[in-house]
Structure 1
Amino acid sequence: MEKVQVFTFLITGGSGYFGFRLACSLQRKGAKVILFDMSQPDLDVPEGIAFLKGDICDYAQVKKAVTGVDCVIHSASYGMSGREQLNRKMIEEVNIQGTEHVIRACVEADVSRLVYTSTFNVVFGGQVIEGGDESLPYLPLHLHPDHYSRTKSIAEMAVIKASGTELINGTGRLRTCALRPAGIYGPGEKRHLPRIVGYIERGIFRFVYGDPRSLVEFVHVDNLVLAHELAADALMSKHQHRSAGQVYFISDGRPVNNFEFFRPLVEGLGYSFPKLRLPVSLVYFVAFITEMIHHVVGPIYNFQPLLTRTEVYKTGVTHYFSMAKAKAELGYVPREYSLEEVVEWFKSRGHGRKMNGSCLQRWIMGVLVLAAVAALVLSYLPVAGSWAEVM
């Protein structure tokens, strides 16, 4: 009987929502998995999955973690959303230096496969993109509206450049590829959905913005898991390393208006969907002012901005991409999911319409509305034109 080879995977950022989901899927398929992260997963770790506490910014710890593994899935990152986007130092240390550590460690520890979890943002900076493919050039670094996207772009370029590098012991070459996912959703997602539900429950989600015809994309966590498994497999010699040196856009393949995508979540939790629609330029201006305020008071009070400028672009400006390359080269066929399971997940944890916002929350909302009106007035003054040029 032919012996089945068991591969060992290391997942950086493995305690996060996506990393842990990927680990469980790989483990069910017979692989050994090591989670490398600063903190343990919130859920119980199944047998066959090991947790290794470590800092990706410490090269010695990274080298120790990758030694003896067959494939690294590098999904650790920092600064994707909210106030994290404003911590430039940490973003650079994790996204750029951390990625450099992973690449170097793979070469020195004879790890032949590396899959990098990148982002749509490496080519997107607020411009309209309809059905774009992997031939799109990187957005020039100085045009990125946030440091997260800029550093993810630098990191992705480094990963792709490293593909074909000879391993230090002469045992072969490092093969790398990168996946560029859309916004991730699914039951138990811990970064974006709880923040949205929090806004809904506190009465802050009172308006939408942008053209109702604008389209963006999302990816269910299990579709993203599938894409990573396929990409890692395609790096192997049995598939002629066909994903080596390649990048792939990954989504559910169903462009949708950002706010209409979340309508089932809002209404499923018993709330009314907002009827007020504001222009993107107005919301962007308010986000800009909020970021400036955070820059001043952040060291004393690190508050959570309602929205950052990048979040305004990502949710209010059309950008979606073709899955043709991922389908042709990886065999990626996304399954169809809905937000129904997400709604049920939140309901099972006590969420749903049961109270109105507090006086403080209503006051905050009033301030935001006044700021929006002030910004609208300023947009018609001559000085507003010079501000637009600066931004």
Structure 2
Amino acid sequence: MSGKEMVQAGRTDEININGTCNVLDACHEHGVRRLVYVSTYNVVFGGKPIVNGSETLPYFPIEDHVDAYGRSKSIAEQLVLKSNGRQAKSNKGTRLYTCAIRPAAIYGPASFRIGAPNVKTDWVYADNLVLALILASMGLLDDIPGRKGTPVAAGQAYFICDALFTFNIPTTLNKELVGVTHYFSYLKAKEELGYVPVTSPQEGLAATISYWQERKRRELDGPTIFTWVAVIIGMLAVFSAAFLPPVGPLKWVLAVHLFVFRSVLAIRIVFVAAVAAHAGEGVYAWFLAKKVDPRNATGWFWQTFALGFFSLRFLLKRARAGAGA
């Protein structure tokens, strides 16, 4: 969760606090034995720099959180960890073991954030986070041969990240800025869970950039909404002057067009020629898109049919870029 959702207190509390309570109640009711909670750095981070933080850091005071997200996640994590060892409702011999994973800023295909040049922070690639969740779940097993007593991860919290490193990011990528230095050690997760990132930062970054570049290629480029409005209104104005009876405001539309084109016949010729030109450009765009952007060939046809060269120029630009590559 990021952006405006982080300050929507009602919705955030409903999901993070009430939702977590519902999950805990369901675990108690049905005798679930393991629960891994996906938490956040924000349970200990409140806007002040943290360097190589560990799990010994205290919770950031609930009342001092500046956003609903961090406050609600902190409350939810504490509820989960306090439920560790709770007996099942139907079977007193079954206990619920819980732990919390506190991931760094998650990156990977479809998600990305970077820090300002003077900010140090850490990240976790999506695949590495999944690995940590699996290891945490295994760390809650209480029936491993040769291991007796409370599971190693029971009631524990773990920071998870890749490493502290600097991204060199192409400016064309969508990204969010992280503004305060804060990074943590995953040493505890390594020692107790066996967590070691399987995807390096370089591999993760390459996959992320590749995703965004491919997504950019799949998008249908086009002009601004103002161009759409201007072209459509212009075509409708010419059509109304050429073929509709001059009633009400259409009298003024016809008068303006007659001032420019001198006769209704000329207006009709201009309209037909414009439609023919748009249709021809649309067909050309379809054939060209089949070569440079086949996924969006139909979209290029309709957009160019509506906007003419205002759309076609974007496709021509993409074709030139592809030829240059």
Specify if TM > 0.5.
Answer: yes
Instruction: Give deviations 1:71-130, integer Å, cap 9, x for gaps.
Output: xxxxxxxxx212212321110111001001111110110001000000000000111100
Instruction: State the secondary structure of the residue aligned to 1:139.
Output: coil
Once residues 265 and 222 of structure 1 are traced to their aligned partners in structure 2, the CA distance between those partners, rounded to angstroms, is: 22
Q: What is the CA-CA distance between 1:348 and the residue it aligns to?
A: 2.1
Q: Are 2:6 and 2:67, in contact at CA under 8 Å, matched by a contact in 1?
A: yes
Equivalent position of 2:79 in the other structure? 158
Task: Sort the Cα spacing of 1:354 and 1:111 in 2 relative to 1 into closer, same or farther, 3 A.
Answer: closer
Once residues 334 and 252 of structure 1 are traced to their aligned partners in structure 2, the CA distance between those partners, rounded to angstroms, is: 6
AA partner of residue 20 (structure 2): T
Once residues 219 and 94 of structure 2 are traced to their aligned partners in structure 1, the CA distance between those partners, rounded to angstroms, is: 58
Equivalent position of 1:234 in the other structure? 139
Task: Sort the Cα spacing of 1:134 and 1:255 in 2 relative to 1 into closer, same or farther, 3 A.
Answer: farther
Task: Sort the Cα spacing of 1:155 and 1:353 in 2 relative to 1 into closer, same or farther, 3 A.
Answer: closer
Instruction: State the secondary structure of the residue aligned to 1:213.
Output: coil
AA partner of residue 340 (structure 1): A
Q: Are 1:217 and 1:253, in contact at CA under 8 Å, matched by a contact in 2?
A: yes
Equivalent position of 1:320 in the other structure? 183
The one of 140, 153, 165 equivalent to 1:243 is 153
For residues 1-391 of structure 1, the aligned pairs below 5 Å read 80-169=1-90, 170-187=92-109, 189=110, 192-193=111-112, 212-237=117-142, 238=144, 240-256=150-166, 261=167, 263-266=168-171, 315-335=178-198, 336=200, 337-351=203-217
Instruction: Pick the structure with greater CA Rg.
Output: 2
Once residues 115 and 121 of structure 2 are traced to their aligned partners in structure 1, the CA distance between those partners, rounded to angstroms, is: 13
Instruction: Give deviations 1:16-44, integer Å, cap 9, x for gaps.
Output: xxxxxxxxxxxxxxxxxxxxxxxxxxxxx
Instruction: Give deviations 1:237-286, integer Å, cap 9, x for gaps.
Output: 11551000000000102243xxxx2x33436x6x9xxxxxxxxxxxxxxx
Once residues 93 and 180 of structure 1 are traced to their aligned partners in structure 2, the CA distance between those partners, rounded to angstroms, is: 20
Q: Percent identity?
A: 44
Once residues 85 and 166 of structure 1 are traced to their aligned partners in structure 2, the CA distance between those partners, rounded to angstroms, is: 34
Once residues 191 and 115 of structure 2 are traced to their aligned partners in structure 1, the CA distance between those partners, rounded to angstroms, is: 36
Structure 2: 5+ residue stretches without partners: 227-325
Task: Sort the Cα spacing of 1:357 and 1:139 in 2 relative to 1 into closer, same or farther, 3 A.
Answer: farther
Once residues 115 and 223 of structure 2 are traced to their aligned partners in structure 1, the CA distance between those partners, rounded to angstroms, is: 22
Once residues 108 and 265 of structure 1 are traced to their aligned partners in structure 2, the CA distance between those partners, rounded to angstroms, is: 50
Once residues 214 and 252 of structure 1 are traced to their aligned partners in structure 2, the CA distance between those partners, rounded to angstroms, is: 17
Instruction: Give deviations 1:27-69, integer Å, cap 9, x for gaps.
Output: xxxxxxxxxxxxxxxxxxxxxxxxxxxxxxxxxxxxxxxxxxx
Q: Are 2:115 and 2:121, in contact at CA under 8 Å, matched by a contact in 1?
A: no
Once residues 173 and 250 of structure 1 are traced to their aligned partners in structure 2, the CA distance between those partners, rounded to angstroms, is: 26
AA partner of residue 219 (structure 1): V
Equivalent position of 2:269 in the other structure? none
Q: What is the CA-CA distance between 1:147 and the residue it aligns to?
A: 0.4
Once residues 9 and 189 of structure 2 are traced to their aligned partners in structure 1, the CA distance between those partners, rounded to angstroms, is: 32
CA RMSD of aligned residues (A): 2.7
Once residues 65 and 32 of structure 2 are traced to their aligned partners in structure 1, the CA distance between those partners, rounded to angstroms, is: 32
Q: Are 1:113 and 1:176, in contact at CA under 8 Å, matched by a contact in 2?
A: yes
Task: Sort the Cα spacing of 1:357 and 1:129 in 2 relative to 1 into closer, same or farther, 3 A.
Answer: farther
Q: Are 2:40 and 2:73, in contact at CA under 8 Å, matched by a contact in 1?
A: yes
Task: Sort the Cα spacing of 1:160 and 1:348 in 2 relative to 1 into closer, same or farther, 3 A.
Answer: same
Q: What is the CA-CA distance between 1:179 and the residue it aligns to?
A: 0.2
Q: What is the CA-CA distance between 1:163 and the residue it aligns to?
A: 0.1
Q: What is the CA-CA distance between 1:347 and the residue it aligns to?
A: 2.2
AA partner of residue 341 (structure 1): A
Number of equivalenced pairs: 217
Once residues 316 and 356 of structure 1 are traced to their aligned partners in structure 2, the CA distance between those partners, rounded to angstroms, is: 33
Task: Sort the Cα spacing of 1:168 and 1:217 in 2 relative to 1 into closer, same or farther, 3 A.
Answer: same
Bigger helix fraction: 2
AA partner of residue 147 (structure 1): A
Q: What is the CA-CA distance between 1:358 and the residue it aligns to?
A: 5.2
Once residues 136 and 170 of structure 2 are traced to their aligned partners in structure 1, the CA distance between those partners, rounded to angstroms, is: 31
Task: Sort the Cα spacing of 1:106 and 1:334 in 2 relative to 1 into closer, same or farther, 3 A.
Answer: same
Once residues 183 and 148 of structure 1 are traced to their aligned partners in structure 2, the CA distance between those partners, rounded to angstroms, is: 14
Q: Tell me the TM-score normalised to structure 2 length.
A: 0.61
Once residues 183 and 135 of structure 1 are traced to their aligned partners in structure 2, the CA distance between those partners, rounded to angstroms, is: 20
AA partner of residue 60 (structure 2): L
Q: What is the CA-CA distance between 1:353 and the residue it aligns to?
A: 11
